[in-house]
Chain A
Amino acid sequence: MRRFVIGSARSLIERSRQNYQSQRPLISSSYRLLSSTPAADSPSSSSSTMAPPVALNTINPKVIECEYAVRGEIVTLAQKLQEEIKTKPDAHPFEEILYCNIGNPQSLGQHPITFFREVLALCDHPTILDKSETQGLFSADSIERAWKILDQIPGRATGAYSHSQGIKGLRDTIAAGIEARDGFPADPNDIFLTDGASPAVHMMMQLLIRSEKDGILCPIPQYPLYSASIALHGGTLVPYYLDEATGWGLEVSELKKQLETSRSKGITVRALVVINPGNPTGQVLAEENQKAIVEFCKQEGLVLLADEVYQENVYVPEKKFHSFKKVSRSMGYGEKDLSLVSFQSVSKGYYGECGKRGGYMEVTGFGADVREQIYKVASVNLCSNISGQILASLVMSPPKVGDESYESYSAERDGILSSLARRAKTLEDAFNNLEGVTCNKAEGAMYLFPRIDLPEKAIKAAEAEKKAPDAYYCQRLLTATGIVVVPGSGFGQVPGTWHFRCTILPQEEKIPAIVTRLTDFHKSFMDEFRG
């Protein structure tokens, strides 16, 4: 079974392991070498007992091993170029850096939903709720909602640590929202509010992974939170390949094959991660597909980890989002049949509130003793941030028809979603028009993941610079145009294929310029390297 390591740091890991073993515990009469060496990132000899305790060769090797390309090397370079432009505007052939590497809508000009921000502002500063001037500055229903939320918080204290699963009243609201979405009930006690979906993913990895013999099935390509988290917790990533030729289709036969292969190598596969809509791939699963996946998890005794943070980002009329909870309940499967953890976030959708760090996981199909352990781990961090909790409840119960803010809310929402759909199409077409590039449709999420057929000459040039070919392409793209994308190797891909992930988030008026610059760059790149 392939041990999946993105950006191999194997030799470094080996060296640090050797040093760990060679370090002898100091005897109490030890003395300090006065001529101590500075930071050691090279393997030290037997005098390693005197290396500073937190140097590269003595820190947790799992930290060294894990990678997270979304904010990796290319972004560091972009920030450097950005600084250079600030001091010398003519330093580069572009005026600004366009960050298309990260799903961070509001950093690129997307506006927050007014109603949500009204409620949050009032909850942050409830003193003004009693003032008459407030009526003139805030919508009536936002004031009403703020009162309702504050009444659910003991002492109306938004600055106090809450229950470790999150404020009960807010969980009630979220549970009701889940029920309204799915048509099946949700229990507020199954909900754990977290600082974004990512910490919830980490919690589950921590629970599931006992050693490197525990494997987690992950899609390739995947959002590298999963590979990083598995590495950090010392587990093994078991890859299953999405099929590019069929719009990134997920075949249960592929799941079965990978499961069997890893089991034959002594790996206990514990869970299956499904990202729906997909990241970076953008596909929205068909319901039949989802049923097969549920069946597979039930039969094989796997926890289904359903990353559904893009549930409100669907751009094609022929597909709809169905939560795995809904699908499994509609199959007649309940608590006894399937262990399912569903993740949701306030960072995506049409609200794009990344900086708030709000999200939750809904945990179903676990015994009470396991749930106690989940609660216990959550309690060590006390609770997630209250403002994020409030926002999660707003996302799951937005204004309804008849509410004062409904019209402006729905106009804002529809404006953002339709714009995202347009941008997805425009960029998809632009990529498909490039020589040697094919790009699957973004049915959902916020990304395009085009595939480039890099000429041999380009691959050699990359090798000469000790870079992965797609990283080389992305770096050349950045230095020529200021556009920042993430190399496909950061997400995983079939060996020998090259991709990059580009967000659809720059504001619509910037898109034509981006398309032009990209097209021009690609043409000159191909001119340079065409065989």
Chain B
Amino acid sequence: MGLKALDYETLNENVKKVQYAVRGELYLRASELQKEGKKIIFTNVGNPHALGQKPLTFPRQVVALCQAPFLLDDPNVGLLFPADAIARAKHYLSLTSGGLGAYSDSRGIPGVRKEVAEFIERRDGYPSDPELIFLTDGASKGVMQILNCIIRGEGDGILVPVPQYPLYSATISLLGGSLVPYYLEETANWGLDVNNLRESVAQARFKGITVRAMVIINPGNPTGQCLSEANLREIINFCYQENLVLLGDEVYQQNIYQDERPFISARKVLMDMGPPVSKEVQLVSFHTVSKGYWGECGQRGGYFEMTNLPPQTVDEIYKIASIALSPNVPAQIFMGLMVNPLKPGDISYEQFVRESQGILESLRRRARIMTDGFNSCKNVVCNFTEGAMYSFPQIRLPPKAIEAAKQAGKVPDVFYCLKLLEATGISTVPGSGFGQKEGVFHLRTTILPAEEDMPAIMSSFKKFNDEFMDQYEDNWNRSRM
């Protein structure tokens, strides 16, 4: 008998090509060290509850009641659950076709999709059609489904920002497509220059690639920048001219830490621009319960909204969704609760507002603490985290450090991050996992560690960094003398 049934050699090549640094080498090493007893601070993934952020009380009450509806029949239920949570649980249960344990419509519970549409309309001022909103097991699944529809082969290119959240590069690899990078300008606060876009598209076409779609992540991950309305208009015009479908990853829309550029959805700008653009440009917008101030990553709840896609395409996407039967129902209820929040006068309203504001205000403070902390370090330059959950400082590695990395067989920023991990227990993701300009190095960390832990973490980082820089710069200086 020759090769075994499933040997490494006979694996799908696309699988082998996939990289997903967020849970790659650094994370695995950090997990090993944790097992050995070292205290690790995991800042590799936007996972708020893992770093002590508490879930909001009201949604948990509602979903717990939906899980165990026999509680609703118990006369003592009011001792543990407020009346508005009880009412809301009954509301969501009535929208299901058999409670949490039944497959829902493959697109998600119609009543919840209606609530999502109403949320979008309130947010943007334009009506939204629930039939064009599909709930998914997390926004990532939605992204994969849409890219799977678009990518026919390696001749199809998807414009992706660099740096980007590596879900995009990984999915494009898995599907056998081509990633067409467009570079964000670090010196201009990670701004998006349409000329960079044109350049990237031209280069791709020159290589024979058909550019099909453009991904924007707004607010950005890992970069945090919030796109201005003018920028969004430019992007939409660009998609109109170049015949691209716009994929708007807007999962961080509630994480905004400055007031100059509030969040504006791609859909709102598209509609504002009026016909023909508003009727022609194809757009898919993504959202989630994992981020914002909810941080309910473990629920795996998300949705995508389609604009200007032909009905037959929508049918095909529905067909694919139906193979997976349905998204998980508890997360659909979380989504309903997120888009249809409590109102003044509701019993639980004040507690809900207090909890939410508390989280958002703290995130804003932590964004500032972290940016300032990084900027106080030697050879580190950090743009302000305008939104999302990450800080993406640039680490100016001295040539000797780069050399040492090479000797160790490691990419320079991986080398730095591993040393940081071993010295301080801070687990980050090297910038190479997100893409960066040649010879420029970064790391991504989250702003999620508890506020009271922040000063210690930043000073621990500074101590490591400044010593690292002294060590490798000294060598450099000495060699020049």
Q: Is the CB of A64 within 8 A of B316?
A: yes
The answer, yes or no, to whether A513 is at the interface (CB within 8 Å) is: no
Q: Is the CB of A39 within 8 A of B311?
A: yes
Q: Is the CB of B322 within 8 A of A133?
A: no
The answer, yes or no, to whether A302 is at the interface (CB within 8 Å) is: yes
Chain A nearest Cβ from B5, distance in angstroms: 4
Hey, which chain A residues are within 8 Å of B61, CB to CB?
Answer: 125
Complex alpha-carbon distance, A199 and B298, angstroms: 17
Hey, which chain A residues are within 8 Å of B20, CB to CB?
Answer: 376, 379-380
Near A by CB (< 8 A), chain B positions 280-327 give 280, 282, 295-300, 308-313, 316, 319-320, 322-327
Q: Is the CB of B310 within 8 A of A120?
A: no
Instruction: For chain B, give the interface size range.
Output: 35 or more
Tell whether A34 pairs with B102 under 8 Å between CB atoms, given A53-B244, A366-B6. Answer: no
In the complex, besides A41-B312, A114-B68, 7 extra interface pairs with C-beta distance below 8 angstroms are: A54-B212, A71-B106, A72-B322, A136-B79, A228-B323, A232-B148, A385-B330
Q: Is the CB of B3 within 8 A of A301?
A: yes
Q: Is the CB of B202 within 8 A of A28?
A: yes
Chain B nearest Cβ from A124, distance in angstroms: 4
Q: Is the CB of B330 within 8 A of A387?
A: yes
Task: Name the CB-closest residue of A to B148.
Answer: A60
Q: Is the CB of A353 within 8 A of B101?
A: yes
- Interface-forming stretch among B134-142, B420-428, B467-475? B134-142
Chain B nearest Cβ from A417, distance in angstroms: 16
The answer, yes or no, to whether A384 is at the interface (CB within 8 Å) is: yes
The answer, yes or no, to whether B50 is at the interface (CB within 8 Å) is: yes
Q: Is the CB of B5 within 8 A of A53?
A: no
Q: Is the CB of B297 within 8 A of A355?
A: no
The answer, yes or no, to whether A252 is at the interface (CB within 8 Å) is: no
Task: Name the CB-closest residue of B to A17.
Answer: B152
- Interface-forming stretch among A84-92, A152-160, A451-459, A494-502? A152-160
Tell whether A206 pairs with B23 under 8 Å between CB atoms, given A66-B323, A127-B57. Answer: no
The answer, yes or no, to whether B213 is at the interface (CB within 8 Å) is: yes
Q: Is the CB of B198 within 8 A of A377?
A: no
Complex alpha-carbon distance, A365 and B89, angstroms: 45
What are the 3 A-B residue pairs with the smallest beta carbon separation, nearest first?
Answer: A39-B310, A355-B329, A125-B64
Tell whether A30 pairs with B242 under 8 Å between CB atoms, given A106-B102, A388-B328. Answer: yes
B65, B106, B309 — which one has the most chain A CB atoms within 10 A of its CB? B309
Q: Is the CB of B101 within 8 A of A356?
A: yes
Tell whether A127 pairs with B328 under 8 Å between CB atoms, given A26-B243, A66-B319, A370-B11. Answer: no
A36, A121, A122, A352 — which one has the most chain B CB atoms within 10 A of its CB? A121
Complex alpha-carbon distance, A213 and B97, angstroms: 42
Task: Name the CB-closest residue of A to B96.
Answer: A355
The answer, yes or no, to whether A367 is at the interface (CB within 8 Å) is: yes
Hey, which chain A residues are within 8 Å of B6, CB to CB?
Answer: 207-208, 270, 303, 339, 366, 370
Chain A nearest Cβ from B29, distance in angstroms: 14
Near A by CB (< 8 A), chain B positions 3-55 give 3-8, 10-16, 18, 20, 22-24, 45, 47-50, 52, 55
B1, B52, B149, B171 — which one has the most chain A CB atoms within 10 A of its CB? B149
The answer, yes or no, to whether B205 is at the interface (CB within 8 Å) is: yes
Which of B15, B141, B299, B330 contacts A381 (CB under 8 A)?
A: B141
Hey, which chain A residues are within 8 Å of B211, CB to CB?
Answer: 25
Chain A nearest Cβ from B373, distance in angstroms: 24
- How many residues of chain A get a CB closer than 8 Å to chain B's CBs? 111
The answer, yes or no, to whether B167 is at the interface (CB within 8 Å) is: yes
- Interface-forming stretch among B70-78, B181-189, B408-416? B70-78
The answer, yes or no, to whether A422 is at the interface (CB within 8 Å) is: no
Hey, which chain B residues are within 8 Å of A181, CB to CB?
Answer: none
The answer, yes or no, to whether A357 is at the interface (CB within 8 Å) is: yes
The answer, yes or no, to whether A140 is at the interface (CB within 8 Å) is: no
Near A by CB (< 8 A), chain B positions 95-132 give 96-104, 106
The answer, yes or no, to whether B151 is at the interface (CB within 8 Å) is: yes
B52, B149, B243 — which one has the most chain A CB atoms within 10 A of its CB? B243
Task: Name the CB-closest residue of A to B56.
Answer: A159
Task: Name the CB-closest residue of A to B149.
Answer: A59
The answer, yes or no, to whether A143 is at the interface (CB within 8 Å) is: no
Tell whether A124 pairs with B10 under 8 Å between CB atoms, given A56-B312, A137-B74, A199-B324. Answer: no
The answer, yes or no, to whether B209 is at the interface (CB within 8 Å) is: yes
The answer, yes or no, to whether B162 is at the interface (CB within 8 Å) is: no
Hey, which chain A residues are within 8 Å of B8, CB to CB?
Answer: 367, 369-370, 373
Which of A28, A210, A301 contacts B4 (CB under 8 A)?
A: A301
Q: Is the CB of A373 within 8 A of B11?
A: yes
Task: Name the CB-closest residue of B to A385.
Answer: B300
Hey, which chain B residues are within 8 Å of A316, CB to CB?
Answer: none
Please list 16 pairs of residues, one from A and one from B, whose beta carbons are closer than 8 Å in the complex, sorted by A's number: A23-B210, A25-B209, A28-B205, A39-B310, A52-B282, A52-B310, A53-B213, A53-B244, A54-B245, A63-B316, A137-B76, A157-B298, A160-B47, A208-B12, A339-B4, A373-B11
Chain A nearest Cβ from B236, distance in angstroms: 13
The answer, yes or no, to whether B240 is at the interface (CB within 8 Å) is: yes
Hey, which chain A residues are within 8 Å of B14, CB to CB?
Answer: 206
Tell whether A377 pairs with B174 under 8 Å between CB atoms, given A59-B150, A106-B98. Answer: yes
Task: Name the CB-closest residue of B to A340.
Answer: B5
Task: Name the CB-closest residue of B to A68.
Answer: B323
Hey, which chain B residues are within 8 Å of A352, CB to CB?
Answer: 101
Q: Is the CB of B101 within 8 A of A157?
A: no
Complex alpha-carbon distance, A56 and B312, angstroms: 6
Q: Is the CB of B23 within 8 A of A379?
A: yes
The answer, yes or no, to whether B232 is at the interface (CB within 8 Å) is: no
Residues on A facing B (Cβ under 8 Å): 20, 23, 25-28, 30-32, 34, 36, 38-41, 49-50, 52-56, 58-61, 63-64, 66-68, 70-72, 102, 104-109, 112, 114, 117-118, 120-122, 124-125, 127-128, 131, 133-134, 136-137, 154-155, 157-162, 164, 195-196, 198-199, 206-210, 225, 228-229, 232, 270-271, 297, 299, 301-303, 339, 347, 352-357, 366-367, 369-370, 373, 376-377, 379-388
Q: Is the CB of A121 within 8 A of B11?
A: no
A61, A134, A195, A366 — which one has the most chain B CB atoms within 10 A of its CB? A195
Hey, which chain A residues are within 8 Å of B64, CB to CB?
Answer: 121-122, 124-125, 128
Hey, which chain A residues are within 8 Å of B138, CB to CB?
Answer: 381-382
Task: Name the CB-closest residue of A to B27.
Answer: A379
Complex alpha-carbon distance, A54 and B313, angstroms: 7
Near A by CB (< 8 A), chain B positions 313-349 give 313, 316, 319-320, 322-331
The answer, yes or no, to whether B463 is at the interface (CB within 8 Å) is: no
Task: Name the CB-closest residue of A to B239.
Answer: A53
Chain B nearest Cβ from A454, distance in angstroms: 27
Which of A112, A117, A381, A383 contacts B298 (CB under 8 A)?
A: A383
Hey, which chain A residues are within 8 Å of B479, CB to CB?
Answer: none
The answer, yes or no, to whether B481 is at the interface (CB within 8 Å) is: no
Q: Is the CB of A60 within 8 A of B151?
A: yes
Tell whether A52 pairs with B280 under 8 Å between CB atoms, given A32-B241, A373-B8, A381-B138. Answer: yes
Hey, which chain A residues are within 8 Å of B149, CB to CB?
Answer: 54, 59-60, 63
Complex alpha-carbon distance, A93 and B27, angstroms: 61
Which of A118, A209, A301, A355 contacts B5 (CB under 8 A)?
A: A301
Task: Name the CB-closest residue of A to B85.
Answer: A125
Hey, which chain B residues are within 8 Å of A355, CB to CB?
Answer: 96, 98-104, 326, 328-330
Q: Is the CB of A121 within 8 A of B67?
A: yes
Hey, which chain B residues are within 8 Å of A369, CB to CB?
Answer: 8
Q: Is the CB of A381 within 8 A of B140?
A: yes
Complex alpha-carbon distance, A162 and B136, angstroms: 19
Q: Is the CB of A161 within 8 A of B47?
A: yes
Hey, which chain A residues are within 8 Å of B276, CB to CB?
Answer: 34, 36
B7, B103, B201, B311 — which one has the most chain A CB atoms within 10 A of its CB? B103
Please, what's the 1-or-0 string for B242-255, where 1 marks a CB less than 8 Å from any CB in chain A? Answer: 11110000000000
The answer, yes or no, to whether B365 is at the interface (CB within 8 Å) is: no
Complex alpha-carbon distance, A355 and B280, angstroms: 36
Hey, which chain B residues are within 8 Å of A105, CB to CB?
Answer: 101-102
Hey, which chain A residues are within 8 Å of B71, CB to CB?
Answer: 121, 137
Complex alpha-carbon distance, A454 and B250, angstroms: 54
Complex alpha-carbon distance, A72 and B3, angstroms: 40
